[in-house]
């Protein structure tokens, strides 16, 4: 069995048929996972200034850029193994650089609260075995983590939930649109206005306290009654909810306090974003937005968004991420004006503007390692096929040696 690096569910029941050193077929993986395991359609090649090069020269050039930079930044690592992430953190330390990742503009704050034990949480196995009330809030798992409902939450039988979704489980969706997940939740879809999550939580808190809520009282009282009856409930927090409440996590803490049988789980997309958060947290006490200035300093101005907005960095190394595909156009302008070093197995939008590109093996397919699942469980990634490409961990080590 192999593990799929297609999303932070890290399904470890994947069968892969290999023929002549190539992946011919996968079993059990969803379409997203199968595509990921089959690898890049467009493989990245080593280059310097957009001209073909070799890996050794590209590493030397990248080391020169980082050494000469006044304010270098390292970004990404959400699609890198834990081993590569640790090397990336060491490299940032050695350079006195800023380091940040995609969690900076999605689930970072929630994961930080979980690591500080501000919320009760649980494992995905607990969900499968015990959960009777599942709340997908601002999260369309069917599209983003396609096997979430079938492997762990709604459909499977569990130790205490032998009758599965037919009788033993209730799935609820709270979202601004009727997503594919909401369609499965059928009679338990609660539509909210964009950015209306705070108002919804306040009304729900009223309903849970026995007061008549000012907002949609009938629906709120009905929802509160279901939640109160739960023996083991889980709120799967998607970026729809975290974007909407922004920094105001106290309101989510208040809701969790009112629901003693509920657990909070972040719906992480990239397969090892949580691994990066945990590795940086272990080293510095923070999950992202850190600058090493002798000691680790955490500040919002060290987020990728702020550094680009303020034009405060003059070189950027990107590994296991494609910020160009997700950042607003106004920020990309500065990104295109500084030397970017891109370490990735595939051609990406970021690699297309990079001053130096260095190809690496596809982790979880051409190299093994470890990663952290969305619930915090460490999972082994296996090497499925041989490859001549160096791993991202190896490249970061060689880069550090070349400094």
* 6 sits near ligand SF4 (criterion: CB under 6 A): yes
Stretch that binds ligand SF4, among 6-14, 252-260, 275-283, 378-386 (CB under 6 A): 6-14
Window contacting ligand SF4 (CB under 6 A); options: 28-36, 131-139, 177-185, 392-400: 28-36
Q: How far apart are CA 301 and CA 359, in angstroms?
A: 30
Asked if 362 touches ligand SF4 (CB under 6 A), the answer is no
Minimum Å distance from CB 41 to ligand SF4?
Answer: 17
Q: Indicate the residue among 370 and 397 with the shorter CB distance to ligand SF4.
A: 370
Where does this chain touch ligand SF4 (CB under 6 A) — which range of 27-35, 40-48, 272-280, 283-291? 27-35
Q: How far is the CB of 16 from ligand SF4 (least distance, A)?
A: 12
Told to check if 30 binds ligand SF4 by CB under 6 A, we report yes
- Asked if 368 touches ligand SF4 (CB under 6 A), the answer is no
CA 65 – CA 355 distance, rounded (Å): 9
Segment interacting with ligand SF4 (CB under 6 A) among 95-103, 139-147, 290-298, 330-338: 139-147
CA atoms within 13 A on the CB side of 266: 32
Q: Where do runs of H (alpha helix) occur along 140-291? A: 141-144, 164-167, 180-184, 197-208, 217-229, 239-245, 250-258, 273-284
* Coil, strand or helix at 336: helix
Taking phi over 0 as left and psi of -120 to 50 as alpha, with beta for the rest, 186 belongs to left
135 binds ligand SF4 (CB under 6 A): no
Q: What's the closest the beta carbon of residue 145 comes to ligand SF4, in angstroms?
A: 5
Q: Is 238 in the site for ligand SF4 (CB under 6 A)?
A: no
Determine if 10 is a binding residue for ligand SF4 (CB under 6 A): yes
- Using CB under 6 A, pick the residue from 2, 11, 75, 287 that binds ligand SF4: 11
Say if CB 315 and CB 339 are below 8 A apart.
Answer: yes
Contact map string, positions 33 to 72, toward ligand SF4, x by CB under 6 A:
x---------------------------------------
* Count of chain residues binding ligand SF4 (CB under 6 A): 13
Structure tokens at 338: 């500084």
Asked if residue 29 binds ligand SF4 (CB under 6 A), the reply is: yes
How far, in Å, are 189, 212, 276, 345 from residue 392 at the CA level?
42, 56, 14, 9
| Distance of alpha carbon 301 from alpha carbon 308, whole angstroms | 10
Q: How far is the CB of 185 from ligand SF4 (least distance, A)?
A: 19
Question: What does residue 313 show for φ and ψ, rounded to 5 degrees?
Answer: -120, 150
Which residue from 147, 270, 291, 398 is in contact with ligand SF4, where contact means CB under 6 A? 147
Element at 230 (helix H, strand E):
none
Closest CB 133 distance from ligand SF4, rounded Å: 22
In whole angstroms, what is the distance from residue 273 CA to residue 279 CA? 10
Q: Which two three-digit tokens encode residue 388?
A: 């001549």
3-state SS, residue 133: strand
Please spell the DSSP secondary structure of 90-129, one letter per residue: HHHHHHT-EEE-GGGGTTHHHHHHHHTT-S----HHHHHH
> Could you list the residues that contact ligand SF4 (CB under 6 A)?
4, 6-7, 9-11, 29-30, 32-33, 145-147
């Amino acid at each position: 069995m192999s593990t799929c690096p297609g999303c932070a569910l890290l399904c470890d029941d994947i069968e892969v048929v290999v023929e002549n050193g190539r992946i011919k077929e996968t079993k059990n993986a969803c379409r997203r996972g199968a595509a990921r395991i089959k690898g890049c359609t467009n493989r990245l090649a080593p280059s310097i200034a957009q001209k073909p090069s070799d890996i050794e020269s590209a590493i030397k050039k990248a080391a020169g850029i980082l050494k000469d930079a006044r304010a270098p930044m390292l970004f990404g690592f959400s699609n890198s193994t834990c081993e590569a992430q640790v090397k990336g953190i060491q490299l940032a330390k050695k350079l006195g650089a800023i380091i940040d990742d995609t969690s900076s503009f999605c689930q970072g704050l929630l994961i930080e609260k979980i690591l500080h034990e501000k919320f009760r949480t649980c494992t995905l196995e607990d969900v499968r075995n015990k959960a009777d009330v599942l709340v997908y809030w601002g999260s369309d798992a069917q599209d983003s983590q396609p096997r979430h409902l079938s492997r762990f939450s709604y459909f499977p039988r569990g130790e205490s939930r032998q009758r599965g979704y037919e009788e033993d489980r209730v799935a609820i969706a709270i979202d601004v649109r009727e997503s594919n997940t909401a369609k499965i939740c059928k009679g338990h879809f609660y539509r909210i206005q964009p950015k209306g999550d705070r108002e919804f939580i306040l009304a729900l808190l009223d309903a849970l306290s026995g007061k008549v809520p000012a907002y949609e009282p009938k629906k709120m009282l009905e929802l509160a009654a279901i939640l109160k009856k739960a023996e083991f409930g889980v709120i799967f927090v998607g970026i729809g909810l975290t974007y909407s409440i922004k920094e105001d996590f106290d309101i989510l803490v208040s809701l969790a306090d009112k629901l003693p049988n509920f657990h909070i789980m972040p719906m992480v997309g990239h397969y090892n974003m949580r691994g990066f958060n945990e590795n940086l947290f272990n080293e510095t006490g923070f999950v992202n937005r850190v600058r090493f200035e002798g000691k680790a300093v955490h500040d919002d101005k060290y987020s990728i968004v702020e550094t680009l907005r303020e034009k405060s960095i003059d070189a950027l190394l990107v590994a296991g991420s494609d910020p160009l595909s997700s950042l607003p156009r106004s920020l990309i302008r500065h990104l295109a004006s500084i030397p970017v070093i891109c370490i990735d197995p595939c051609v990406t939008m970021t690699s297309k503007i990079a001053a130096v590109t260095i190809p690496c093996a596809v982790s979880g397919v051409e190299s093994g390692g470890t990663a952290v699942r969305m619930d915090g469980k460490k999972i082994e990634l296996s090497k499925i096929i041989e490859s001549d490409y160096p791993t991202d961990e190896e490249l970061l080590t060689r880069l550090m040696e070349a400094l």
